[in-house]
Structure formats: structure tokens, C-alpha cells
Structure 1
Amino acid sequence: MLVDSGTIVAIVIVIALAIDIAARILALIFVPKNRRPQTALAWLLAIWFLPYVGIILFLILGRARLPRARRRKQHEINEYILDTTEGFDRVKRDRPWPPWLEPIVELNRTLGSMPLVGGNSAQMWNDNTESLAQMTAAIRAAKKTVHAEFYILLLDDATGDFFDALEDAHARGVVVRVLLDHLGNAQYPGYRRTVKRLNRMGVQWRRMLPFRPLHGQIQRPDLRNHRKLLVVDGTVAFTGSQNVIETGYQRRRNHRRGLHWKDYMARFEGPVVAGIDALFVTDWYSETGELLEREAAPARTTGDGDLDCQVVPSGPGFAGENNLRLFNSLVYAAQRKVILTSPYFVPDDSMLYAITTAAQSGLQVELFVSEIGDQFLVFHAQRSYYEALLRAGVKIWLYAGPTILHSKHLTIDDQISVIGSSNMDMRSFSLDLEISVMVRGEKFLKELRAIEDANRAMSRELTLEEWLSRPVWHRTLDNLARLTAAVQ
């Protein structure tokens, strides 16, 4: 019996409709499982409006988890750190110790395995050129090891001395290990010449989270290692927001607009250096299978500085969103003042509630962001939160363009500072591997407050009246971008 073409077409249509309906129903069942409501809603909208494209994207990008082998290595490192640092979170409590700090220290220890250690000292730089020169000088003084790990690490006119220092260190017998994020770097013009230079230098280097299908390296492409750190001889460590690249990020369009990035870096000495180095060891092990046990072990003696520090790693290798929990806990604990600085501010509901609750409780709450943006969707999603913040009493400072204020730090009362690589957005909370360092110490906080004051002098305050008067199409664009925030 022959079937005419019209019948075949009808059968195909029915099957397609059945698959479409089944996919939508299954999405309602499986997508919300163990996800934030806003993340689940974003994926459901994508699947309902673009079912086939949405399903494919969800299968590729829908789970913010590293491959099983990498999560196993992360667990092994966490167990190792816990075993070798037992009791090292005993800090001298001979100065005023806020009663709310103890549970936050324990939270960080439980989530990230790192102890709070005393006896540390630090310096800080609010200028990219100066901090890069300081890191280069530290490499030139290296005697044993150099561990460099940066989300973006590229050779150009501004970073040439940094690469020369790495090469010179290797030539004189220093063990030089370098980690750079694969897709974070591959998007820039300087990537190929950087790879050639690293190979020619002869240093040990690896791509982090490589996505190279032709080499059998396939994993979720939007999970990135966003950490920035440098450890020299296991005694000196740098971390903060700065990548190793010229301040225009090698983009012609940035140069045409006059855009340049302004960062913050801190240099630590003391027991906390071992904690920062432990993150390098973790990532080196994940990418190479080589566990540098001796270099992972924390310092066994306290230094002579006056800072208490705790390293807080975060990312999809951990079960919880360690950085988000740290930020929220500190904001809720604040008694007088909360000052936040982040180039990309796209909070989830929990963080938005924490910040607005602090402001509505009468605390001084300020947020520093850039007046202009370099990432279209993130910038407009960020702006969609301004009205709620302003109505709650948060002061929003817009750092003047053409500078992108890329610093990432938080200060609480006159007690606690947090610096590191983590933005205050959903990507940094869920998708990116980050490093944060919580610091207790009056001198460090005062210096960071001086940087906040300098940023305030270069910013203008956004008022609610001004914000409500912006064009309707601006509001529409901001609100539409907000729908994508959970999956950016």
C-alpha cells in the first residue's frame, strides 16, 4: 500500500509537534531541579520560545559543573589541605574581635578548606603599570619557584618585561610554571604569539579548562578559570583583579573609544601565601595530573605581620557558591558600613536582599561601578538593578569613562576587607573559578578605604530622580538583558 506525500507530511508534522510538546513538558520537570528560580526561568523561556535551539544549549551549558575527573581532583586537594592545616586557624584574638566573625571564618573553612591565619603583611597598588612592575620585580628576585596563574596572560608591549622576567628566571634555574585560561586568551590577537613565546622560553605551562575538540579536550566551554595570582618562592604572593595584558585589552575598538581598565592588586607575605599557592597547586594538578605536595603544604610558622587572612576559593569545582555565601554573610553581619566595588554587578536575589536590607536598616551602603560598559548584555542587566538599590538607600557611584573600573573588593565596618578576582555577578558565583582573600586588619582596611575615596573623587553619584527619567527604551533594554543574567 502506497502512502501519498501529503500523508507523509502530516505524519512528520504530528511527530514534530509531539516531540515539541514532550520537550516542553520534560523541561518543566527537569530544568528547575536544584537551580535558582531565575536561572530555571531563563532556561525555560529559551526552551519554550526556541525549543530545539534551547534544548541543545541546555544540554551543553545547563549544568554549572566541571567534569567528574576534575571535581574528584578538587575533592582530593580539599582533603589534603584539611589534613595538613588542622588547627592552623588559631589566630591571636588580642585585638577587638567582632563576635559575628567566628561563624564566617568557620563557614569559609567548611566550604573552601582554607584556614584563617595570622601574622601576614600586605601592600597594595591601584595602578596597573605599577602593580605589573612590582610583579615583574618579584619574578626577577625569584630563587626557587615562580607560579603564575592568570585568566588572561598575553604578550604585548606593556607585558614584555613580565615575560622577559619569566624567561630569565627559567634560564637561571628557577622552576617556572604558568597557567592561563584557554578561551579567555584565545579570543585576543596576542594569543598565538604568546603561545610561541612560552614554548620558546622552555617554561612549564598549561592551558586551563582547554576546549580543543581536535585534541580530545572537550568540556563545557563557558566554565572559565578567572583567577589571578602570582606566587614567588612560596613566600610572596600577588592577587587581585588584574590580568597580564595592556590596559586596552588588545582591542582596536577599545583603543578607538579610549577605553582602559583600572585594577587593584595586593602583595602578601606570611602564612597566607601558602593558601594562595595551594590554589595554584590545585589548578596545576587539575590540568597536568602532577600534585606538587611539598608546595601545597601551608607554612608552619606565623609571620610577623598584623593581618589575619583567609583564602576563599570558589567555582564549579565546589558544591556551594563559596564567594556568594561569603559576601552575603559579611553584608548581613555589618553594623555600620558596607562598600562594594565590582565592574560587573549582577546579583542573585539573595545578594540583592542582603544589600538592600543593610541599606534599609540604616547602614551606610555604597556601590562603585563603571559609568560605561564593555560587555553589552552584562552592562544592561546590571543597570536593571539600580532602581531597587536606589530606592533602598544604596549610594551608587559611577566611575567616569573612558575608564573601566575593574577592581573587585568589599569593606565591612572598620573590620574586614575582601579582595580578589571575583565579580559580584552570577557568572562569578556559579561558572567561574575565583579567588577571594578575606583580610582582618585596620591598616589594610584604611589603605583600601583610601582607594575607595580616590575612586569616589573620580565618580559621580547616581540619583533616583535621574535614573527614573531615563528613556523608556533604555528601561526596556535593561529589563530584557536581565532575563539573560542567569545564563550569561
Structure 2
Amino acid sequence: MDGRAASAGGVFIGPCGLGYCGAEGQPNTGSVQLDLSVVGAILGVSWIVAEYLVKIIAIGVVPENRRPSSSSAWLLLILFVPIVGIPLFLMLGSPYINHRRARIQADADELLHEGADELPDVPPSLRAPREFVSIAQLGRRLTALPMVTGNSHGVISDYEASIERMAELVDEAREYVHVEIYIMAWDSTTDVFFRALERAAARGVKVKVLFDHIGSRKYPGFHRLGRRLTKVGIQWHLMLPFIPWRAKLRRIDLRNHRKLLVVDGKKAMMGSQNMIDSSYLQKKNVAIGRAWHDIMVELSGPIVAAVEAVFATDWYSESGEALGIRTYDGEFHEADVGGATSAMQLVPSGPGFTTEPNLKVFTSLMYLAQTRLAIVSPYFVPDESLLAAVITAARRGVDVELYVSEKADQFMVDYAQSSYYRSLLEAGVRIFLYPKPQVLHTKCFVVDDEYAVMGSSNMDMRSFGLNYEISLLTTGGDLVDDITEVVADYQRASRELSLEEWEERPLIRRYLESVMRLTSALQ
């Protein structure tokens, strides 16, 4: 091959291979190195240009429809660690993934408007300040649900007793049972409830069950649960399923956090409790005696139609089956507020809504406080508006109390939550720590012992922007007193945290608090 070029598969090879010939026919390796360095320089410049281009685009895209704290956190991650921040934002930060849910919610709102169009914003018999009525009007404009009357049959704070009561209600069913609970597991504690569902299906009652895919899958028996429900004749669907091989791709950080039960459209239960043993079936929890503490409320009357409407919307979202939305009946006009009958307004929220109804109703009610504001939340990681409402109330002279677990069950939340303690304590907020290892999982707050909110929504940014939640606003009846008494029980069981004690925490904890506070804003 001396002095000639050979062709191999279309690649021409000279006498010195792929290099150039130097003196006496030797390969000129310096030229090859020069060419590679030029290619490397071009790639390096291209990478830098692409990186800056992505950063410039991010500055314009990330803040769209996102609160400032969340925008700042995402931009910091993208600008300083783009190799991590960009993929995370594409998976978790896109605001465009929920368009289908928003359309479904808009359709449901239209049906709700039609069903309640003739009803006033609040029950005619309610005697409440104009400021409170305006909050009920706000809730209606954000969710299409008016404030109606409803009967409370008691708040249940005993974990197993609430499961047993739900089973009893299912045993009373004659037409249908609708269940929607974030975490479900068929274990020795919940067996009484699932057996009741089985009996209901056997006698011809239509039973429909929804539970969250990501929320439930990490607990024992998840993969058998669906098969067991199907075997006994129960219709069920996963909420927000993430199953790539079936083309069910959702934002993996979204959760349907609601907990509700509807029986025959006449009785309902809702609150903070999941359908799982109070240890959450974790051996470490059993070993240290850790248990979850929640509340559920049993309801009847017109408010049940609102609870049913929320289930119907979520069932349609996951199954494509339209159940119809039941309209309110004449009980609305006949019932007088007082005693067992309260004025009640359901406040559903989640990515299907674009207005964060729970956050807006919560903060508005907190600004109404004159004497007392008592907040119970396992995860207190507020956004700027909620934090301002709480601190402003304390600065106005309102007795503000915050009840949280001494040690949260989640590492990141534990540190993110406690990063707010100093500013709260300095403002005069009293912080009560529910003793570890117990987990205070109740979500409620009371204003002036006259108004109360309870349900599934935490006081954190996830619950305001990423989770589907359901909350109940109430006044004018025994339910407020019942919730107030539960808060009093928590105070008796807790110890108060002082600013002096908190200032003595170690530097490493302060550092972790700051880091977790920043990451909590990524949504």
C-alpha cells in the first residue's frame, strides 16, 4: 500500500493512517492533537453557550404562575447546579402537566354552579359578621361550593374508633358507598372496614374506592390490595397513577391527599386519617411506640352533597365514568343554624384549581381573628402570605398557638418546619410540642372559638400547590366546640417551647434548617 490510498468501507486511509505524514513518512501526531484540541474548544464553547441560553430561558419561564419563594429556589438550583436543576424542573416543576385536571375541574365547577345556582352564599338562618360572610363568598367564588347547613355527629379522635365507625356506616349502606382515602392498607386494624365493604358489595351495594398510587404503594400488601378488592366485587382506581409502561405519566410529586367516605348520599366522614394501622405498619414505629393521632368528623344534611361532588370529580378523573353531581335539596332552607346543625362550607383544593382556595380561605380567616388563633398541623411550612397572617395576628395581640409534633415523621419536614420557630416565637406565637415519638397528624385551626377549619390540608406549600385536599369551614354550631375541645386535649398533652430553649440548638441543626427551608420551596 506504499504511496497509495486504500479504501475500507468508504474511509480513505493514507500511508500514515489517519494522521498526516511528517519527515521521512512518520505520522504527524502534533497535528492530530491540534485538531482534537480545536474540537474540544468548540465543544466547550458550545456547552457554555447552551448553558447560558438555558439559564436565560429559565429566568423567563420558571417564575410563570409560581410564588416568588418557589421561583427563587428553582432558579438557584438551575443556575448553580444545572445538571441537577434542569432535569428536576422538567420532571417536577412544569405548570403545564395539569391541564387535563384543570379542564375536568372546570366542568365540575359548571355542574356545581348549575346545582347550587339558586342558593344564597350562606344559610339564611346564619347570624355572622359581614367579614365572615365575605370569606364564605370567597370560598364559593374559588370552588363553586356555597356555605350550607350540616349536622355534625361528633369528632372522633380515637384512631381505631373512627375506623370502626366508618365500618358501621358502610354496614348501613343500601345503595352505594364511595371511599376516597390517600393511603389504604388492608391490615389487622383496617380489616373491620374492608370486611364491611365486602359485605356491602355482597348484598348488592355499589362500592367504589379511590386511593393514591404513590402514597399507598410503599406499604405492605399494596400489590395484593387491588386484587382483593376486585375479588369481592369492589370497583377501585388508583389516584394519580404513575405507570410509565402503560403511558400513565404524571408529575410524580403530585398526591391526592383527601380522606372521605360517603354512604347513600346521606352520611359522610372526612378528616385527616388514612386507612392503615396507626403505626403505618413500620417495625421501627412499633418498636418505639410511635403512633399517628388524627380526627374524623361524621356529617349528615346538605353538606354531604358537597363531599359527594368532590368524590364524583375525582372518580371521573381516574375512571372516565361520570357519576353525576347531586344537587342540594330543600333541607338547606329548613334547617336553623345552632346546636347539632352548623353552617358548613367545603373547600376542595389542588392542582385542578388555579387559585389555591385553601390558602386564600385560611389566611382570610386568620386575619379575622380578634382574640385567639389555634393551629394544629403536622407539617407547618408556610408560604409568605400564611406566615404573615400568623405573625400579624400575634403582633395584633391575638393569642396565637401552634401545635406540632416534637419530632416530625419526615426528616426534611422536621427541619424545614422548625426553621420558622424563631420568627414565630419572637412575634409572640406560643408553640406546643406534642411529645415524641407520637405523631400529631390532625389538621385543623380555630379562630376566636367561633370559627373552625378541619380536614386533610396541612399548613405547608405542598398542600397549597401540589396536593389535592379537602377542608371543612364551619361556624354556628357544636362542631366548633368539639374541635376546640380536641385542641385543648392536645395542649394538655404537649409541652410549650420557649425562645430561650430554642436559641440553644446546635449550629448543625441551624444549617440543616436553612437548607431544608430552601428545598421545601421547590414546587
Match of 1:166 in 2: 197
Contact 2:269 2:298 in 1 (8 A): yes
The CA distance in 1 between the partners of 2:189 and 2:224, in whole Å, is 14
The answer to whether residue 318 in structure 2 is matched with residue 296 in structure 1 is no
Letter aligned with residue 327 of structure 2: A
Give distance in 2, aligned partners of 1:127 and 1:251. Answer: 20
Of the structure 1 ranges 56-65 and 160-169, higher mean CA displacement relative to structure 2 is found in 56-65
Name the counterpart of 1:468.
Answer: 503
Q: Which residue of 2 aligns with 1:204?
A: 235
Q: Choose the corresponding residue for 1:157, options 177, 188, 203.
A: 188
d(CA) in 1 for partners of 2:322, 2:127: 40
Q: State the alpha-carbon separation in 1 of the partners of residues 391 and 170 from structure 2.
A: 43
C-alpha distance in 2 between matches for 1:20 and 1:81:
48
RMSD (Å) for aligned C-alpha atoms: 1.6
CA distance in 2, matches of 1:462, 1:30: 42
What TM-score comes out, normalization by structure 2 length?
0.90
Query: In 2, Cα distance between the equivalents of 1:455 and 1:219?
Result: 38
Match of 2:173 among 120, 142, 150: 142
Q: Which amino acid aligns with 1:466?
A: E
- Structure 2 CA distance for aligned equivalents of residues 225 and 65 of structure 1: 18
2:440 paired with 1:409: no
Which of 17-26 and 128-137 deviates more?
17-26
Aligned to 1:399: 434
CA distance in 1, matches of 2:123, 2:258: 30
- Aligned equivalents of 1:367 and 1:357: distance in 2? 14
Which amino acid counterpart does residue 12 of structure 1 have in structure 2? Answer: L
- Structure 1 unmatched runs, 5+: none
Indicate which of 368, 386, 392 corresponds to 1:351: 386
Q: Within 1, Cα distance between the matches of 2:326 and 2:215?
A: 26
What secondary structure does 1:461 align onto?
strand
**Is the partner of 2:331 in helix, strand or coil?**
coil
1:91 to partner: Cα distance = 4.3
C-alpha distance 92-48 of structure 1, shift in aligned 2 (>3 A):
closer
Q: CA deviation at 1:96?
A: 4.0
TM normalised by structure 1 equals: 0.97
Match of 1:321 among 345, 356, 360: 356
Q: Partner residue of 2:153?
A: 122
- Name structure 2 gaps, 5 residues minimum: 1-19, 21-31
Residue in structure 2 matched with residue 4 of structure 1 by the alignment: 35
**Quick one: which of 332, 336, 342 aligns to 2:367?**
332
Name which of structure 1's ranges 10-19 and 463-472 shifts more when overlaid on structure 2: 10-19
What SS is found at the alignment partner of 2:207? strand
Task: Find out whether 1:361 has 2:396 as its counterpart.
Answer: yes
- Measured after TM superposition, the shift of residue 190 of structure 1 is 2.2
Other-structure match for 1:486: 521
Alignment of 1:252-267 (within 5 A): 252-267=283-298
Deviates more, 1:52-61 or 1:460-469: 52-61
Inter-CA distance 90–471: structure 2 relative to 1 (3 Å threshold): closer
| Residue 341 of structure 2 is aligned to residue 310 of structure 1 | no
- The answer to whether 1:104 aligns with 2:138 is no
TM-superposed CA distance for 1:34, in Å, is 2.7
Instruction: Tell me which residue corresponds to 2:207.
Output: 176
What is the percent sequence identity of the aligned residues?
A: 45
Distance 2:77 2:175 in 1: 52
Conservation of the 8 A alpha-carbon contact between 1:345 and 1:382: yes
Select the structure of larger CA radius of gyration: 2
What is the alpha-carbon distance in structure 1 between the residues aligned to residue 150 and residue 319 of structure 2? 33
Q: Give, in angstroms, the shift of residue 92 of structure 1.
A: 4.5
* Matched residues, number: 487
Cα deviation for residue 201 of structure 1 reads 1.5
Contact 1:64–1:316, Cα closer than 8 Å, also in 2: no
**How far off is 1:320 after superposition?**
0.5
- 1:456 aligns to 2:491 (yes or no): yes
What is the identity, as a one-letter code, of the residue corresponding to 1:415?
Answer: E
Q: Does 1:389 align with 2:424?
A: yes
| Displacement after TM superposition at 1:73 (Å) | 1.2
